[in-house]
Amino acid sequence: MTSYEENDQKIHDQISELLKDVNRIPYLFVGSGISRRYTGNENWEDLLKWICSSVGEPLGKYRDYVQAANDVDIEGPNFPRIASKIQADFVKALSSPRLKDWSEKHDSLLSKGVPALKLYISEHLHSKPTASLDELEELRKSSREIAGIITTNYDDLLENIFPDYDCYVGQEDLLFSNPTGIGEIYKIHGSVDKPESMVFTEEDYSRYKENQDYLLSKILTIFGEYPVIFLGYSLQDQNVRDVISSLARFAGANKAQELAKRFVFVNYSTSDCQVTEHSFDVGHGHYVTMTAISTANFTPLYQAIGENKQLYAPKVLNQLSREVYNIAMTGKPSSTLVLDNFEHLNKLPADKPIVAAIGVNGYGKPVNPLDLYEDVLFGNKSFKPSLVVGSYLNKALGSNAGGLPMFKILSQYDGPITGERIISEIQKHKTMDSYLSKSDRELRTRIRKQLKDKTLSALKERFQEKAAENILVLTQEELADIDALHELLVSAARKQLDENSDITSPLRKSIKIYDFLRYHPIFVNKNK
């Protein structure tokens, strides 16, 4: 094992051991380093420098603002004060030649009171990943084993990684909503989607601290229930120090130290991987110590999180908690959740088994892509066409870039087709060749030269057990014996389902072609 592999294993084992000891999935506390790592977005200081350089005159030089905002009471630049001074000059400069076109373009938003500088920043920040994509994919794969996220970042990178999580922006969103604490993202410093919510200037931070009690209580509740992994912050980051100090102030130094045993601070470093302990001074002679990891590779961290499997996805727990809470508080039945014999319970019986069942009440069974493939071959799903086409198919096509076998169910459907993705797929597929990629066509050209005759029999002889996955070697006319093709695909699919409980991608393509050959003519004739 190389030194790099040893370092990766060390990180993996450290996180695995923490999650195993606590027996809970973690919360992530995410800072600007994560956005910088994956999208190239700036940290606070570099963002201020970007504003000055991108606008140029009539703004001053960044170093001039640093000197003007000098604060002897803090170590290093006072970024909120620098931001305030830049903002004042930015507003004055809106009518200047440099910003005149920009301000006219955004006149309607500016007239509504959206702060000009924050609007300017929100347009700049982006979240499209540009680096460490393999590493980021590991984080996406681990999302089911992450309870929630707290972040001081403005951009929408995390919403794109965790699309099913509810997102709360700023303190007001948390105060006037009903967060459940699971399957949620808390953007405590605001978001580019709501520029006015961004905590950026000295005045913003003053208001933020004046009204932070509820936010802190929410964060402390999370810290008391979950292990917490800090990502994208330096060990000296003021946001982290403020949270840890508040934790000690509210919970007491001893309790805070007990909770901190479940905290892990992950810091980016190009030097050798290190797993150490780091102590934060929380005042009055007290320190809170947590595990600190320095590494250039976050992949083993994400993999360790993903291996900590839990039975229920955070989004499911979030939805169920919200529905039960609403029924309990309002006394009104939910449109999406039916609870039987729930209303008059004072407590759950301690001496009897309890059954809690989740199903779909009076609406049919949700359809997944594999169901569509199986139904085309085996006819075993008893689908209601209006339900599949009206409620499931359009959304399913959005998450299956290669398309789905859809012409059987469309040929059985009598209503109007309104889904944009369904209509697009219908227009796209008018011949068998529309299912073939460039490499598929190259394979067809190469293999056809080797076939003695262009039939299914010759295909079986050439490809043996893989024949069903290679019907694309033949043309639409040569696959005219639909029953023989169906028999070949059924045999192959049953074998794969018995062995893997799924159907491989090459065979899925063959099934889509079969679905087109058999049912597309019926669909077209029906919709003339």
SS3 for 173-184 is HHHCCCCCCCCE
* Secondary element (H or E) of residue 519: helix 505-526
* Exposure class string for 2-23: b at 16+ Cβ within 10 A, else e: eeeeebbeebbebbbebbeeee
Question: Do the beta carbons of residue 406 and residue 515 sit within 8 Å?
Answer: yes
The pLDDT, as a whole number, for residue 256 is 80
Q: Angle at CA 369, nearest 5°, toward 363 and 370?
A: 105
Measured distance CA(488)–CA(257) in Å, rounded: 65
Q: In what order do the strands lie in the sheet with 148-151?
A: 166-169, 184-187, 148-151, 27-30, 228-231, 263-268, 286-295, 274-283
The pLDDT, as a whole number, for residue 65 is 93
* Percent of the chain as helix, strand, coil, to the nearest 5: 55, 10, 35
The pLDDT, as a whole number, for residue 30 is 95
pTM of the full predicted structure? 0.63
> What does the longest C-alpha to C-alpha distance in the chain come to?
88
The pLDDT, as a whole number, for residue 363 is 44
The pLDDT, as a whole number, for residue 260 is 84
The CA–CA distances, whole Å, from 306 to 33, 109, 227, 477 equal 21, 42, 14, 47
Successive 10-residue mean pLDDT values, the chain, 528 residues: 76 89 90 92 93 92 91 78 95 92 94 95 86 90 92 94 91 74 90 94 91 79 87 86 81 80 88 83 83 91 88 64 59 54 58 56 64 90 82 87 92 89 93 92 89 87 90 91 93 90 92 95 89
Report strand pairing: 263-268 vs 228-231. parallel
The pLDDT, as a whole number, for residue 411 is 93
DSSP state for residue 141 in the 8-state scheme: H
The pLDDT, as a whole number, for residue 240 is 84
